[in-house]
Amino acid sequence: MKITEFIKKELQGWKSYEVTGLIIVFIIISVNAILLKDSPAAIINAICGILYTIIAGKGKISCYFFGLSGSACYIWLSFSNALWGNMLLYLCYYIPMQTIGIFKWKKHLKKDTKEITKIRLNRKERLKLILTGFAGCVFTIMVLYYFNDKSPVIDGITTFLSILGMYLTVKRAIEQWIIWGIVNGLSLLMWLNLVINGTKAYSTVLMWGVYFILAIYFYIIWKKELETQK
């Protein structure tokens, strides 16, 4: 497929209010960055992260290119703020999984729209997901306490649930949006607390807020699509 044709396919399916909302968010991020002198890494991470989430929600494989760029910036932000769980998560898991996701999604693209086919987990898989999530969060929190993490509970929960969320993203399962909703909400609180205490990462706070809204939005969109397919 030619590059121009690939780009054309990736831009299909955007609704006018989605484009308008995206432009408004980017304007807010830009104004916020100028007025509050936000860090360049936080700005790039916010822009790439929001693009990744929206494009992933629309089932387009190009989301991973923005995901990889945003992950690199987030690794630096986490390192600078001693959030070791988040830093290791992005460095050792997100980047490898996003690379794998490119090849996995490529095998499940619809011929006409070039969007991925979505799936839903069965009851047995959901039960395994819940048990694994609970046990993994408890273990991660204990480890982060040992390493003097600044926010061991929230960082621990978001770190392990993000592992499950990324796995479900590559798997193309709708349950990922439930996981991301929890992760994004808690991450918003964690970074808001850091900003209140002097960290210049205002764009990151805005980014997590947008993520939280998008998780709810795309859960509804995917649910409707799966019900139509059924």
Closest CA relative to residue 204, chosen from 70, 84, 90, 82:
70
**Average pLDDT score over residue span 47-70:** 88
When pLDDT is averaged across residues 37-51 and rounded to a whole number, the result is 80
In terms of pLDDT, which residue wins out, 151 or 141?
141
Domain count, the chain: 1
Torsion sign, CA atoms 35, 36, 40, 43: negative
Q: Is the full-model pTM beyond 0.75?
A: yes
pLDDT-derived band of residue 178, with 50, 70 and 90 as boundaries?
A: very high
Nearest in space to 68 (alpha carbons), one of 105, 98, 40: 98
Specify whether the CB–CB gap between 50 and 210 falls below 8 A: yes
DSSP bridge pairs for 116: 109
Cα 71 from chain centroid?
A: 10
- pLDDT digits over 120-137, tens only? 999 999 999 999 999 999
Instruction: Give 160-200 as a DSSP string.
Output: HHHHHHHHHHHHTBTTHHHHHHHHHHHHHHHHHHHHHTT--
Q: Is pLDDT of 1 > 60?
A: no
Percentage of residues of the chain with pLDDT beyond 70: 94
* pLDDT, average across residues 219-230: 88
In which domain, by residue range, is 158 found?
Answer: 3-229
pLDDT grade for 159, boundaries at 50, 70 and 90 = confident
Residue 8 predicted with pLDDT over 70:
no
**208 or 11, which is more confident?**
208
Question: Amino acid identity, residue 64?
Answer: Y
Q: H or E segment at 45?
A: helix 40-57
Token pair for residue 196? 């209140």
The values of phi and psi at residue 173, to 5°, are -95, 140
